[in-house]
Amino acid sequence: MTIVTKDNIILLNEKGRRSDGRKWNELRPISMVVGVLERADGSAIVETGGTKVLAAVYGPKEMYPKHLAMPDRAILRVAYRMTSFSVEERKKPHPSRREIELSKVIKEALEPAVILEEFPRTVIDVYILVLQADGGTRVASINAASLALADAGIPMKGLVTAIAVGRLGNQVIVDLNDVEDKYGNADMPIAYIPSTGEITLFQMDGTMSPDLFDKCLEVAIETLNKIHEMQKEALKRKYLKNKKD
Amino acid sequence: MISEIRKEILSNIEKEMIISQLTKGKRIDGRGLFDFRKINVIPAPVEKAEGSAFVSLGKTKVLVGIKVNPAMPFPDTPNEGIFVINTEFSPVASPLFELGPPSEYAIEVARVVDRIIRSSEMIKLDELVIIPGELVWMINIDIYALDDNGNLIDASLIGTLAALYVGYIPRVEVIDKDRKKIEIIKEERTPIPLKDMPISFTFAKIKDILLLDPTRIEENIMDARLTIAVNNKGEICSVQKGEGGGFKLEDIHLAKDIVIKKSNGIRKIINDQLVKKPRGKEAWNEIRRLSYGEDEES
């Protein structure tokens, strides 16, 4: 079954290959590097194909203004921003409604993993900068932010791992690129904490049959476990490097 | 007021140590007073930008990207293209940067870089006209600080130069001149027309000692800052003094002499990397290697 967009981009060919030649469940090359910034308390850069995301974490630190502090726990703040040149059309630097919504859902994806009760009256800031966008920036952001939080030494119940799954016709696909995100039939980003089994980000747009919906979730969890291993490896690499020094 | 907030608290012992070493002509990172840190230029990593560059100056890192779009020319320059330089100093780069509109400092850096590019006439604006008086190319240059370890001015300028040098303008066909109808052919690219490569040198004055390319800690205790830029011909093409302190006349003469003496060397360091370093996908391998600190000799 071949699926073609209206401007003749082949999303899926008769051999089951996608626009960039991948199989339905094949991930783009992923690179994760922890501790890339000098100034931030924790940082990570995550690349998924053409998508490049940098995350920096500061804190726990004193909350200003003080009345926003919580007496029993830390507050997690997340700002997701895209560079103006990360997309085809220049994005004006001031935050768009999309960036504000994404900041919120990313924060809520990370919150369940962070043991905020350890640091009452403080704030933990997570800043995410998309250096280049090619589909899946929110899930790359979650993967990067979770690594940066761990790098900052913030106690967590586990790493948060994220991936987007979706649908082209009747075919489930994993790790959507820009074109698939735009022209595919459905896009479902999911974040998951493997160590607690909680799903902490769950969105979908497009349409999906209940059967395919189940299949997507199943495939997503399978993939997330793989990405979780990559995250752990990335953290270990930094730890081992420091040990060597 | 904002420049006050920019400074961090530094312990007296650290401050005194730095100053006592400086009086002996030594710096805490082992550099000479008038040495730059290592300059790394990685051209064109961002494929969606019409020009881009990642630059590290020691541990200071910036990413500069260019987007070009057709726009109305300014009424007083109907036959010239437009360029706009903007800085985004987000908290990713430093705990002292905040979200929201650019700080005074970020605006100062953007304006200094803009002035250097403009005074040196680096970009041939008269070659950026699509329909005379009606439509010209607008070049948006956005400078993102990623890690502020001092001297964002020089790092920003180097990033801007590099992004411009690897940048391109897509071919444009005028379909209907009167209705301003054009077609942009993205695949056919011509380089951005350039004719100069200005180089800037930023000095800090700590007590009565002048030093080049201050690190963050040196910026923290500096009394004054001086940036001098010089073009291809060796003419001085911009100056900016910053911070609360002042410079003696002999400081300025000394700084100027160093700038004149060193500018060709720095220009060569940048040029060589623009030619030799990998671009596109492979550029990210270089960035990863640099960011991971496997190249830490600053």
Assembly ipTM: 0.89
**Residue B3 binned pLDDT confidence (cut-offs 50, 70, 90):** very low
The DSSP secondary-structure symbol of B9 reads: P
- Tell whether the model's pLDDT for residue A7 goes beyond 80: no
Closest residue of B to A55, CA-based?
A: B92
Residue of B59, B66, B293 with shortest CB distance to A85: B66
B94: which chain A residues are within 8 Å (Cβ-Cβ)? 39
| Bridge partners, residue A51, by sequence | A48
Mutant choice from A30, A37, A39, A86 vs B, greatest count of B C-beta within 10 A: A39
Q: For a pLDDT cut of 90, what percent of chain B falls above it?
A: 85
Are A36 and B292 in contact (CB < 8 Å)?
yes
Question: Nearest CA to CA, how far is B220 from chain A (Å)?
Answer: 14
Closest residue of A to B49, CA-based?
A: A85
B66 shares contact with chain A (CB less than 8 Å): yes
Domain count, chain A: 1
Q: Judge whether A224 and A143 are in contact, CB under 8 Å.
A: no
Q: Where are the beta strands (DSSP E) in chain A?
A: 3-4, 10-12, 30-34, 42-48, 51-62, 75-82, 122-132, 161-168, 171-174, 186-193, 198-202, 205-206
Report all structural domains of chain B as residue ranges with CATH numbers, in order of start.
Answer: 2-291 (3.30.230.70)
**What pLDDT, in 10s, does the model give residues A190-210?**
999 999 999 999 999 999 999
pLDDT at B295: 47
Could you tell me how far CA B118 lies from the centroid of its own chain? 13
Distance CA B238, CA B258 (A): 15
pLDDT at A25: 95
Q: For a pLDDT cut of 70, what percent of chain B falls above it?
A: 95
- Tell whether the model's pLDDT for residue A141 goes beyond 70: yes
A230 shares contact with chain B (CB less than 8 Å): no
Are B292 and A47 in contact (CB < 8 Å)?
no
Distance CA A124, CA B23 (A): 40
HSE on the CB side for B133, CA within 13 Å?
2
Structure tokens at A224: 């997330």
A79 shares contact with chain B (CB less than 8 Å): yes
Are B292 and A90 in contact (CB < 8 Å)?
no
pLDDT at B94: 95
A223: domain CATH number is 3.30.230.70
The DSSP secondary-structure symbol of B114 reads: H
Question: Nearest CA to CA, how far is A77 from chain B (Å)?
Answer: 12
- Tell whether the model's pLDDT for residue A78 goes beyond 80: yes
Chain A, chain B: beta-carbon pairs less than 8 Å apart: 95
Question: What mean pLDDT is predicted for residues A143-164?
Answer: 98
Question: In which domain, by residue range, is A155 found?
Answer: 3-244
Q: For a pLDDT cut of 90, what percent of chain A falls above it?
A: 89
A38 shares contact with chain B (CB less than 8 Å): yes
pLDDT at B197: 95
Question: What mean pLDDT is predicted for residues B120-144?
Answer: 96
Residue of A31, A47, A84 with shortest CB distance to B67: A84
Length of chain B: 298
**Residue B74 binned pLDDT confidence (cut-offs 50, 70, 90):** very high
- Tell whether the model's pLDDT for residue B1 goes beyond 60: no
Distance CA B127, CA A105 (A): 46
Closest residue of B to A36, CA-based?
A: B291
Are B140 and A58 in contact (CB < 8 Å)?
no
Question: What mean pLDDT is predicted for residues A139-144?
Answer: 98
Are B292 and A131 in contact (CB < 8 Å)?
no
A122 shares contact with chain B (CB less than 8 Å): no
Mutant choice from B146, B151, B217 vs A, greatest count of A C-beta within 10 A: B146
pLDDT at B6: 61
